[in-house]
Structure 1
Amino acid sequence: MAEYNTIRTGAGVRTAQIDEGLRAHMNKVYGTMSVGMLITALAAWAISGLAVTSDPNVTGIMIREGEYLTALGQAIYVSPLKWVIMFAPLAILFFGIGPIMRKASASAAQLGFFVFAVLIGLSLSSIFLIYTQYSIVQTFLVTAVAFAGLSLYGYTTKKDLSGMGTFLVMGVIGLVIAMIINIFLQSPAMMFAISAIGVLIFAGLTAYDTQRIKSDYIAHAQVGDQEWLNKSATFGALSLYLDFLNMFQFLLFFMGSQE
């Protein structure tokens, strides 16, 4: 934020132009993120619909009274393929999508983000088999309200949030490790703690990432880094998309009603 204030002080006549560009940039970030969330939701809902049938003769695997897994459902929820589906988005996020998007054109980077959103939808589709649709929608709306407030705070606050970054990233790494361990332990108490801490971490990341996106735009716009500006909205959208998605999943643990 100190950099942001310094730039604005010395920008002179360019301040109004940068402010106008910043508003357009943030609108594009939120718009791209919203499209990504819509793609994820539709993909998860559609795949979950294809994974369930009322015909017991298809696989014979009953998930609840009168509903059975289809061959697709058996493959993605029961077979060893479920581990690939579970960890593939995480592997892509850490080892693939970032470097690929940085080397790609602006349109290719955006397409990569939308493809990633589909893969996330596949990995999330099981929530429609576990939780009621009402509780999923309710949790989504609560997450949306919380996200909007936190993002607005990050955008408008004069407080420098950059010091939170390292701490929050370390927290995310710790969460991932704890979640992997709990896959084998299956401890409800540990899952409760993970979910509670996860909500707090991604709430902080929402505010932090919003301020970072704003500050980065100001810095690059001042020097006219057009190549970065062309792809920056997609990078920003990806960051906020992940913050929203993770906060939603952790809140669903508390608010979701199971079928």
Structure 2
Amino acid sequence: MAQFDTIRTGTAGVRTAQIDAGLKAHMNKVYGTMSVGMLITALAAWAISGLATSDAPTAYQISANTYLTDFGYAIYASPLKWLIMFAPLIFVFGFSAGINRMSAATAQLVFYAFAAVMGLSLSSIFLVFTSYSIAQVFLITAIAFAGLSLWGYTTKKDISGWGSFLIMGVIGLVVASIVNIFLASPAVMFAISALGVLIFAGLTAYDTQKIKTEYLAHAQHGDSEWLGKAAIMGALSLYLDFINMFMFLLQLFGNRE
């Protein structure tokens, strides 16, 4: 009997070690995929910003010190800007709805394509904010995101109950932002940005814990295809948390051109 208990305990210990190693590899894939997506977004935003020098052959002046190329003028000063603005939202809804029909490899490529589209949508920040303040706020966001995600991963507290409250907060932010398009109130914009930072800070911790718990719930089944797509969806969730927190912090602390 004692020998059987020893074998059973040893087997359980090996299984736990395998799950721990698998979880580490899973989280590394989530963060790695997200990081590549962030790099693609940053490069796309910078490359497509459409900025030109004042002495360029075809430069369109839109402010005292800001000039656009032909391409920049086409995407920022035409109805095309609305398509570019809402393209990431359409893309992410389509991606979420269709991921079950994709392979893990296809889902990863689609995520990277989405990151490029997001870069196109965010490229206008280079027209509004100074490059120094964009870099500064990005660094602040990265530090805050790392701390929040680490807390969500290591905390023993169950924060799954935050989900519905935070999603309601996101819906409220979207509605308030649409209303403020017509009001154009700086005070309302400040309130939206401050609440947005808090909501997406909470979502960063919540999504990290959710990714961890979902892996632990499904790891015993050994479904590599599901785990591969789960890592992509986890990367997408954290990517969106980072981007939104960055944009709201930029609205609060960014220096405008």
TM-score, normalised to structure 1's length?
Answer: 0.91
Deviating beyond 4 angstroms after TM superposition, the runs of 4 or more aligned structure 1 residues are: none
What one-letter code is carried by the residue in structure 1 that aligns with 2:33?
T
Aligned to 2:31: 30
Extract unaligned runs of 5+ from structure 2.
1-10
Picking from 103, 106, 112, the partner of 2:101 is 103
Q: Which position in structure 2 is the counterpart of 1:123?
A: 121
Q: Distance in 1 between matches of 2:95 and 2:52?
A: 31
Query: What is the distance in 1 between the residues matched to 2:109 and 2:239?
Result: 15
Q: Which residue of 2 aligns with 1:86?
A: 85
Residue 182 of structure 1, aligned match among 177, 180, 183: 180
Alignment partner, residue 240 of structure 1: 238
Letter in 1 for 2:248: F
Give ranges in structure 1 of 5+ residues lacking alignment.
Answer: 1-9
Between 56-65 and 15-24, the greater mean CA deviation after superposition: 56-65
1:198 equivalent to 2:205? Answer no
TM-score, normalization by structure 2:
0.91
Percent identity for Structure 1 against Structure 2: 69
Return the index of the structure with the highest Cα Rg: 2
Counterpart Cα distance in 2 of 1:253 and 1:166: 26
**Cα distance in 2 for residues equivalent to 1:99 and 1:78:** 32
Shift of 1:55: 4.1
2:129–2:256 Cα contact (<8 Å) kept: yes
Query: Which amino acid in 1 is paired with 2:67?
Result: Y
User: Partners in 2 of 1:69 and 1:46 — Cα distance?
Assistant: 13
| Aligned partners of 1:162 and 1:208 also within 8 Å | yes
Query: What amino acid sits opposite 2:95 in the alignment?
Result: I
Q: Paired residue for 1:149, among 147, 150, 175?
A: 147
- Report the Cα distance in structure 1 between the residues aligned to 2:82 and 2:54, rounded to whole angstroms: 26
Q: Could you say if the C-alpha distance between residues 180 and 236 of structure 1 is closer, same or farther in structure 2, counting changes exceeding 3 Å?
A: same
State the distance in 2 between where 1:35 and 1:240 align.
12
Equivalent pairs counted in the alignment come to: 247
Partner SS, residue 120 of structure 1: helix
More divergent stretch after superposition (56-65 vs 193-202):
56-65
Q: 1:58 to 1:200 in 2, by over 3 A?
A: same
Q: CA deviation at 1:58?
A: 2.7
Partner of 2:6: none
TM-aligned CA deviation for residue 103 of structure 1: 1.4
The aligned counterpart of 2:7 is: none
SS in 2 for 1:63: coil
Cα distance, 1:182 vs structure 2: 1.4
Counterpart-to-counterpart distance in 1, 2:63 and 2:41: 23
